[in-house]
Structure 1
Amino acid sequence: MPQPRVKLVVTGDDFGYCPRRNQGIVDCFQAGGISNVSLLVNASAAKEAADLAKRHNIPIGLHANLSEGVPVCPSLQQASTLINQRGFFLGKTGFRQALERGQLSMNQVDLELRAQVRLFRELTGHLPHHMDGHQHVHVLPEVREVFAQVLSDLRIPYTRVPVEPGLQSCPWLPAHIQRFYTQVEKDALDSISVFRRYGIRWPNVYLGLTTMGQNMSVPNLQRALSHVLAAGPSGTTSSSASGSNQPVVTAELMVHPGYPSHPQEGGCGEGPDDFSQSADRQHELSVLRDPSLQALYSQERVQLCAFKDL
């Protein structure tokens, strides 16, 4: 390929969720559909996922999880502000509600994040190349400060800032999803100054909210990429192309490929959720492996890479 216009990190989230997710992610990586994965260390098939990443040389980071399943830190498993009476995290909505009410201990968030990094290192043999938040918890108020401190202390260089160009003008998102994504984007924008203060980096452009599940298609991905190409390298990680005045734009595309979970298999302690058991994951897998998408990348000079290659 000539000098790329875009370096694109395509991250398969939720690695470790269940054996069928793991297999789908590996198949997608081997087909050139993804270039990077994010591991849920508290998920039921996390060890298998880490072993698969080693075997297939898949670049891997940490999908820090404060909302689904059971804490990794032993001292938080019996009684903590992060869990309900059954010992599970509070859920995507419950975590946010408890945070708004001032009921969450940021010291406990810190303990859990550091415990997840330690377990990641035990499973993989190295620190994460990047670290983001499951269900975008890492950009929430207060949490983002703790998250940034952990990344800075442990010298984890990259995170995710889910601000997606074209989100507000996306016609196919239902109103309740659009509202949630708009709030995620607002929290992410408010996180930028915090992450910058701690010297944390992220790609110029983020994609993935508008192309999840059945909304993923080659035309929709082409639309998303057009925003990347129009954006230009205004973020924190742009690098000038050698021998060229044309800077390379860096971007991350968040995806969730896999095969549907079996009803009783997977999850982070409570079994797999509906999204995991639906056909949406396999649909994403099929689109990401579509030869016409690879042709689009080639045509637009988009080079897939991992965070460690930025």
Structure 2
Amino acid sequence: MMPRATVKLIITGDDFGYCPRRNQGIVECFLTGAVSNVSLLVNGAAVVDAVQLARRHHIPIGLHANLSEGSPVCPALKESSSLLNAEGFFHGKMGIRRALAEGRLNMAEVKQELTAQVELFRELTGHLPYHMDGHQHVHVLPEIRHVFAQLLVDYGIMYTRVPIEPDLPRCSWIDPPLMAFYRSVEKDSLETVDVFQKYHIRWPDIYIGLSTMGKNMSVSNIIGAIDNATAAYQAKKDSVAPLSPLLGSGREARSVTVELMTHPGYPSLPPVGGCGEGPDDFSQSWERLHELETLKKPELQSCYKARNIELCSFKELKV
């Protein structure tokens, strides 16, 4: 039996830059120790405000690559592109999946837009992203995953997210339509693992966030997900090598890395916000505030301390 590993928890606040109210909520969470890491939307309406806040409060930020909502940042793709619908915006969360399945997406344009987003991130922040993931999980989609992986290698971005949640099958509280989407994300992610391994890209040992999103977020759900996932990981580690060892391998005691994906913030108020076409229902929902309030609960912070869970960011991980 291996010695019990230390848990390093990365709590990522997604969609930084979406609107001023989302920015405000994420910063509040960071300053109270409720999130430890953020993902920036460079085509978000409030991206400049977000970058200024990150600089002021020393918030570690990565890139939330966006191919599904709003407008591209690459000037050459703004007028005509396979990435755009008839209205001139990205195809949407499900629309991009349909367009991809129908063979309508040009991967050269995917690379062009992702490259433009990395470059804009660097221009805005003065540095490359400490990690890079995909808005609405577009980075694990077929074909796109290969372009995404090569881009990370080209820029030397070491870390990403692979949204495979160990406890998902047992989460009976998730609405069936949402669960169907989550299972499709899981399938795409499982098929992405070999690609990311081939490119020597790294990601946390454990991912959590689908089962705890929005109205489903609670202290008990978060802690239960962490406890169950780390116990299962420890048992697997006793018998086989981990799927993606972030900090090394072998049978010595080491840190287990966990990423908790979150979407806290104050709900967007139209017409302010969005990524070029105004804020969507997700960002206007009361569930954004519910996540903010849950993550800030002292009870949750106490649970972390009781389990010796250390909060950290991708920036702090060892290569």
TM-score when normalising by structure 2: 0.93
Residue in structure 2 matched with residue 258 of structure 1 by the alignment: 265
**1:160-196 CA deviation, whole Å, 9 max, x = no partner?**
0000011011010111111110010010011011011
**What is the aligned counterpart of 2:253 among 246, 253, 265?**
246
Partners of 2:300 and 2:229 lie apart in 1 by: 16
1:43 is aligned to 44
Aligned positions of 1:173-252 closer than 5 A: 173-230=174-231, 231-232=233-234, 234=242, 235-239=244-248, 245-252=252-259
2:86 is aligned with what amino acid? Q
Deviation for aligned residue 1:247: 2.0
- Give distance in 1, aligned partners of 2:295 and 2:249: 28
Give the Cα separation in 2 of the matches to 1:245 and 1:112. Answer: 42
**1:259-290 Cα shifts (integer Å, max 9, x gaps):** 01112110011111112111111110111110
- The question of 1:279 aligning with 2:286 is answered yes
Q: Mean alpha-carbon deviation: is it higher for 131-140 or for 78-87?
A: 78-87
Q: Which runs of 5+ in 1 are unaligned?
A: none
Aligned-pair distance for 1:222? 1.2
- What residue is the counterpart of 1:162 in the other structure? 163
Which whole-Å deviations, capped at 9, do the CAs of 1:29-71 have from their partners, x for residues lacking one?
A: 0000000000000010011101110110000000000000000
* Paired position in structure 1 for 2:101: 100
SS of 2:255 mapped into structure 1: strand
Structure 1 distance, partners of 2:190, 2:249, is 25
**Alpha-carbon distance in 1 for matches of 2:118, 2:169:** 34
Deviation at 1:255, TM superposition (A): 0.2
Amino acid at match of 2:122: R
Q: How far is the alpha carbon of 1:240 from its aligned partner?
A: 7.9
The aligned residue for residue 292 of structure 1 is 299
In structure 1, what residue type is equivalent to 2:296?
A: R
Q: Does the CA contact (< 8 Å) of 1:240 and 1:246 recur in 2?
A: no
Letter in 1 for 2:309: V
Secondary structure of the structure 1 residue equivalent to 2:168: coil
What is the identity, as a one-letter code, of the residue corresponding to 1:189?
L
* Displaced runs of 4 or more, over 3 A: 238-241
SS in 1 for 2:115: helix
Deviations 1:93-145 (A, max 9, x none): 11000000001000000000000000000111100000000000000000000
SS in 2 for 1:303: strand
Single out whichever of 278-287 and 59-68 deviates more from structure 2: 278-287
With the length of structure 1 as denominator, give the TM-score of the two structures: 0.96
Aligned to 2:309: 302
Cα distance in 2 for partners of 1:265, 1:254 equals: 24
Give the whole-Å Cα distance in 2 for the aligned partners of 1:190 and 1:198.
Answer: 14
Aligned residues: 306
Which residue identity is paired with 1:106? Answer: M
State the match for 1:134 in structure 2. Answer: 135
Counterpart contact for 1:267–1:273, Cα < 8 Å: yes
Q: In structure 1, what is the equivalent of residue 153 of structure 2?
A: 152
Counterpart CA distance in 1 for 2:78 and 2:279 is: 20
Q: In 2, Cα distance between the equivalents of 1:23 and 1:203?
A: 27
User: Helix, strand or coil: the match of 2:127?
Assistant: coil
Cα distance in 2 for partners of 1:158, 1:42 equals 21
Conserved in 2, the CA contact under 8 Å of 1:239 and 1:248?
A: no
Alignment RMSD (CA, Å): 1.5
What CA distance in whole angstroms lies between the structure 2 residues aligned with 1:82 and 1:274?
22
> Hey, what does 1:115 align to over in structure 2?
116
The aligned counterpart of 1:27 is: 28
Distance 1:124 1:109 in 2: 23
Within the alignment, does 1:80 sit opposite 2:81 as a pair?
yes
Is 2:271–2:278's contact at 8 Å kept on the other side of the alignment? yes
Deviation at 1:4, TM superposition (A): 7.0
**Aligned 8 A contact 1:11 1:34 in 2:** yes
The answer to whether the 8 Å contact 2:5/2:254 transfers is no
> Are the aligned partners of 2:130 and 2:157 in contact in 1 as well (CA < 8 Å)?
yes
Alpha-carbon distance in 2 for matches of 1:4, 1:191: 27
Unaligned runs of 5+ in 2: none
